[in-house]
């Protein structure tokens, strides 16, 4: 086999090789995606390696905190901040501004779709981030949120900011808000909430009730379960309350996180809706859209809300301009020996001759109860014309 000799590089081959190398090494520079690692574009001011990071540390639950990042346009042309995005309701942009040489403050609009803010060359931008601890989903745990900024700069098209905090809550209440829901007016209603310290081994303590509610009354008991304290808050909405919604609160007195003093407070909100003792569900009954020439059915239920109460439905009357197009059937659920029950099913039927258009009517249910001789419920709906 003949020996292969290396082929010498000719001038033309050298030129081709150099051209290939230049093409590989001298292409257009890709834009940077930066948090804080460039000296061109929209540059973050600050000290340390992570200029785009701020640690709020432990923030007491219920408080708000802010931090301002400063950015400088180091380019010779204006930079447009195209959008600013934040991840959740607990973190948002409070403001994004810069001040002109004349002292005028230019305010950006983070919800604008055509650009948040145009930053002239050399201007310093203040980006203020606000955290709301009441919106942090899980207190007493590390929370890291990322804010993303998009610009039209080739050097810093994307900038990210990170903020960390712990929403420090001394106590954990279950449920966080007491919902009494619907409360019969002659009976009232009660519920409890259980309270433990926010972190195991905490020295924080509940001292007592600092303020009763305006309409609810409360009692507090304390027990020890293992190495932890458990407080039980019992709230009661008394009977004979006016009909309508109620938002009340009970305020507890607490120590600080070291178990000292009694100046701390813990507020627990109580919601209720005071209603008649006997009601019909749904509360605002409506037929779904009915096609002309067809029948329709609406299922209702009558309930006696006072614990242990039972009623007897003696009759049902339908009132309204189109009452002749409806009929109602009643069915008792789990009756006692006298035929009374706390629940009755009511089936309202509309016949096929109901004319097109909107309609309404009133359902009157007669009861054998001296305190509640009748329950009324308005209903409505719409009949569509046949195609």
**What's residue 79's pLDDT?**
96
| Contact between 184 and 276 (Cβ < 8 Å) | yes
Query: pLDDT at position 89, please?
Result: 87
Residue 213: how many other CB atoms lie within 10 Å: 20
pTM: 0.68
By residue count, the chain amounts to 387
At the top level of CATH, the class of 278-384 is mainly beta
CATH architecture of 171-275: Sandwich (2.60)
Check residue 368 and give its pLDDT.
94
Provide the residue-wise pLDDT of the chain in tens; the chain has 387 residues.
444 444 444 444 444 443 443 343 333 344 444 444 557 899 999 888 899 999 999 998 889 999 999 999 999 999 999 999 998 889 999 999 999 999 999 999 999 989 999 999 999 999 999 999 989 988 889 999 999 999 999 999 999 999 999 998 899 999 999 999 999 999 999 999 999 998 888 899 999 999 999 999 999 999 998 788 999 999 999 998 999 999 999 999 999 988 999 988 999 999 999 999 999 999 999 999 999 999 999 999 999 999 999 999 999 999 999 999 999 999 999 999 999 999 999 999 999 999 999 999 999 999 998 889 999 999 999 999 987
* Same fold across 42-168 and 171-275: yes
Q: What local confidence, expressed as pLDDT, does residue 54 receive?
A: 95
Q: Return phi, psi of residue 102, to 5°.
A: -85, 0
Lateral strand order in the sheet of 228-237? 171-174, 189-197, 228-237, 217-225
- DSSP string for 1-37: -PPPPPPPPPHHHHHHHHHHHHHHHSSPPPPPB-SS-
Q: Residue 7: its pLDDT value, please? A: 45
Close Cβ partners of 379 (under 8 Å, ≥ 6 residues apart): 285, 286, 287, 298, 348, 360, 361, 362, 363
Domain spans of the chain? 42-168, 171-275, 278-384
Question: 42-168 falls under which CATH superfamily?
Answer: Immunoglobulins (2.60.40.10)
């Amino acid at each position: 086999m003949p020996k292969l000799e290396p082929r010498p590089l000719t001038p033309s081959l050298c030129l081709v090789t150099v051209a290939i190398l230049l093409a590989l090494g001298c292409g257009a520079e890709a834009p940077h995606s930066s948090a804080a690692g460039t000296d061109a574009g929209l540059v973050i001011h600050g000290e340390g390696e992570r200029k785009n990071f701020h640690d709020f540390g432990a923030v007491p639950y219920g408080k708000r905190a802010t931090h301002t990042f400063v950015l400088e346009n180091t380019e010779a042309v204006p930079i447009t901040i195209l959008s600013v995005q934040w991840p959740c309701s607990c973190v948002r942009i409070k403001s994004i501004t810069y001040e002109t040489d004349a002292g005028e403050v230019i305010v950006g609009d983070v919800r604008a779709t055509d650009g948040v803010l145009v930053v002239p060359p050399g201007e310093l931008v203040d980006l203020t981030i606000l955290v709301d601890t009441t919106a942090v989903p899980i207190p007493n745990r590390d929370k890291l949120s990322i804010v993303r900024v998009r610009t039209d700069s080739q050097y810093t098209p994307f900038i990210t900011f990170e903020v960390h905090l712990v929403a420090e809550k001394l106590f954990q209440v279950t449920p966080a808000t007491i919902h009494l829901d619907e409360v019969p007016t002659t009976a009232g209603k009660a519920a409890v909430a259980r309270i433990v310290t926010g972190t195991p081994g905490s020295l924080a303590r509940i001292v007592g009730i600092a303020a009763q509610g305006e309409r609810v009354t409360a009692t507090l008991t304390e027990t020890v379960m293992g190495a932890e304290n458990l407080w039980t808050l019992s709230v009661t909405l008394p009977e004979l309350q006016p009909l309508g919604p109620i938002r009340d609160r009970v305020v507890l007195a607490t120590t600080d996180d070291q178990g000292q003093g009694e100046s701390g407070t813990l507020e627990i909100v109580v919601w209720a809706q005071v209603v008649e003792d006997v009601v019909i569900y749904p509360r605002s009954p409506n037929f779904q859209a009915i096609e002309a020439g067809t029948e329709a059915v609406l299922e209702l239920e009558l309930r006696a809300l006072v614990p242990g109460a039972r009623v007897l439905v003696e009759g049902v009357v339908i009132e309204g301009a189109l009452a002749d197009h409806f009929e109602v059937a009643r069915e008792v659920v789990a009756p006692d020996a006298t035929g009374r029950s706390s629940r009755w099913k009511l089936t309202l039927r509309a016949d096929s001759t109901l004319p097109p258009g909107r309609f309404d009517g009133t359902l009157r249910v007669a009861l054998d109860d001296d305190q509640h001789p009748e329950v009324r419920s308005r209903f409505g709906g719409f009949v569509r014309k046949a195609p």
